[in-house]
Chain A
């Protein structure tokens, strides 16, 4: 089964991925620290029974998963970093071909998320609400007419829905537009987060945009709002990329070709260097052919060469080296492997 991130999606020149997440809680069960281990177990069993293995759902008891594998799951966005670190019992239910993953006993009793590549809100919406429907039919979901879906943290009240789109915005970043964009987005009730791979500002051109508020705005309105705004941002990014003159285009193509050279030959690749080169390559692809490099290959990397995954790929011949160096060796190998596929 191909992983959710190992696919192509619409608008790949700018869009990396789309996600819709729903927070739901069940009546009569306490939350967080107030939820006893016994009650948690009971709840997990109830939710698990809604998603039988015979129907293709993969169920994982998080308590049986070593920390490093939890880290891997978080790096691939199947679970939240908080769920990866959480020592309390939890359950993960997955349906890979739909990009569906459900966390049970995370911050909320149930967190449903549907992930897809590129810009595909409709697909995410269908996937998330189909799963939600199943739960709704089986268990009493905590809800009030005033506050909507009742969530552990009041910041998620109302629809309990978070719509997130991950974008690649190098042109806007280099043109120093992100600061003013961020201010505008905040005024519109959206959140933007910059994602950086450790290094300097130029190494991270990935951003996640999501809705800030969840109460007083319907699901449809939220999706329409996020959709409308990210489309405008993508358009601005594309327009800006088009403005590069032939000289600039040549430089971008040169940078990308050099980045590819390093990816093909490097013995060590730190996360920071990886992101910096990756950005050069991904931008270059908008201007020039780069052998058989594709957006699919490049995007697969940001989910598969992250620290936890690399810890699982350490090679025996590097056993005498310090651990972070061994990880960088593993990363260089992993990147090359994805390139050559």
Chain B
């Protein structure tokens, strides 16, 4: 069986976790399994804290990438987050986003995994001060985009910076085809009024 996290090595551990009352099992390789085990720590207390009775991991911190079980790179479209520059594959690999804007950029890709983790897909509770909940739109989209995200101008500047960095990288690693693509993107973006 192949490890459900890295999808490379052979699985040697079987992990079980229960989130929101739902039981799930993951097969993990030795390396990924160690990572999950080491994630268990008591609040602030440094020690070797593993649950003494059963090897059940229900510590969700750092386990997110395992939860992408089912989410695959085929969903990737090469789209990059305009603030942090990450692609969806990067988020899967890290199990963490690169910036708050990623949740807007990759909302559709992330949604299924988020629902799976929490057993819910809609926030309930406090909002930042001054946050005005938007009215449901006529189309029936009750969910509004985050209002406190960077402005278009800021996003563009950031994106340009990211692209230029990517270009440099592509040239350095002699991926000229990729570099040409990025150069076109930069030109297009700079051309925008």
User: Closest residue of chain A to B145, judged by CB?
Assistant: A144
Q: When chains A and B are docked, how far (Å) is the Cα of A140 from the Cα of B11?
A: 43
- Interface residue SS majority, chain A: mixed
Cβ contact within 8 Å between A213 and B119: yes
Which residues from chain A contact B56 at a C-beta distance below 8 Å? Answer: 182, 186
Chain A 216-239 interface 0/1 with B at a Cβ cutoff of 8 Å (1 = within): 111111000000000000000000
Report the bound CA distance from A192 to B97 in whole Å: 27
> Are A147 and B103 within 8 A (Cβ)?
yes
User: What chain A residues lie within 8 Å of B118 (beta carbons)?
Assistant: 157-158, 213-216
| Interface members, chain B 1-49 (any A CB < 8 Å) | 18-21, 40-49
Minimum CB–CB distance for A181 against chain B, Å: 10
* B67–chain A nearest beta-carbon distance, Å: 8
Q: Which of B20, B47, B58 touches A195 (beta carbons < 8 Å)?
A: B47
A window 19-52: CB within 8 A of B: 19, 21, 25-34
User: In the assembled complex, which residues on chain B have CB atoms less than 8 Å from the CB atom of A78?
Assistant: 44
Contact between A193 and B51, CB atoms less than 8 A apart: yes
Instruction: Please tell me if the beta carbons of A157 and B50 are within 8 angstroms of each other in the complex.
Output: no
Q: Which of chain B's residues have a CB closer than 8 A to the CB of A210?
A: 43
Interface size on B (CB < 8 Å)? 68
Contacts of B21 in A (CB 8 A): 186-189
Give the residue name and chain of the B residue nearest to A133 (CB): B129
| A29 neighbours in B (Cβ, 8 Å) | 99
Given A28-B83, A194-B51, A215-B121, A155-B143 contact (CB < 8 Å): no
Q: Note all chain B residues with C-beta closer than 8 A to A306.
A: 45-47
Identify the closest chain A residue to B41 (Cβ): A81
Residue numbers in B under 8 Å from A76 (CB-CB): 44
Complex contacts, A186 vs chain B, CB 8 Å: 18, 21, 56, 58
Which residues does chain B contribute within 8 Å of A193, judged by CB atoms?
40, 42, 49, 51, 59
Q: Say yes or no: A79 contacts B95, CB within 8 Å.
A: no
Q: Does A127 contact B (CB under 8 A)?
A: no
Distance (Å) between the CB of B165 and the closest chain A CB?
Answer: 11
Note all chain B residues with C-beta closer than 8 A to A82: 41
A240 contact set on B, CB distance < 8 A: none
CB within 8 Å of B: which A157-200 residues: 157-159, 164, 166, 178-179, 182, 186-189, 191-198
Is A198 a contact of B123 with CB atoms below 8 Å?
no
Q: Check A201 for interface membership: any CB of B closer than 8 A.
A: yes
The interface residues of chain B lying within 8 Å CB-to-CB of A215 are 114, 117-118, 120-123
Given contacts A81-B44, A208-B42, A308-B46, contact A182 B51 (CB under 8 A): yes
Separation of A204 and B41 alpha carbons in the complex (Å): 14
* B148-156, B169-177, B181-189 - interface stretch: B148-156
Convert A143-157 into 0s and 1s, putting 1 for each residue whose CB lies closer than 8 angstroms to a CB of B. Answer: 111111110111111
Residue A74 is within 8 A (CB to CB) of chain B in the complex: yes
Q: Which of B88-122 touch A at CB < 8 Å?
A: 94-100, 103-104, 107, 110, 113-114, 117-122
Q: In the bound complex, what is the Cα–Cα distance between A27 and B150 (angstroms)? A: 7
Q: Mark A281-311, 1 if CB is under 8 A from B, else 0.
A: 0000000000000000000000000111000
In angstroms, Cα B98 to Cα A76, docked, is 30
- The distance in angstroms between the C-alpha atoms of A212 and B61, with both chains bound, is 10
Do B60 and A155 touch across chains, with their CB atoms under 8 A apart? yes
Name which residue of chain A comes closest to B19, CB basis: A212
Smallest Cβ distance from B122 to chain A, in angstroms? Answer: 6
With both chains docked as a complex, state the minimum distance between the C-beta of B38 and any C-beta of chain A, in angstroms: 10
Nearest Cβ on chain B to A40's Cβ, whole angstroms: 13
Provide the bound-state CA to CA distance between A182 and B50, in Å: 13
CB of A148 within 8 A of CB of B19, answer: no
A sample of 21 inter-chain contacts (CB < 8 A) reads: A32-B96, A34-B86, A74-B44, A81-B46, A142-B148, A154-B97, A155-B60, A157-B103, A158-B124, A195-B42, A196-B47, A196-B48, A196-B50, A212-B19, A212-B58, A213-B117, A213-B119, A215-B123, A216-B121, A220-B125, A221-B124
Contacts A142-B100, A196-B52, A208-B42 aside, 6 further interface pairs with beta carbons under 8 A come to A74-B44, A159-B123, A193-B49, A216-B119, A216-B122, A307-B46
Q: Which 9 A-B pairs have the closest CB atoms?
A: A216-B120, A148-B123, A77-B44, A142-B100, A218-B125, A215-B118, A144-B146, A150-B100, A186-B18
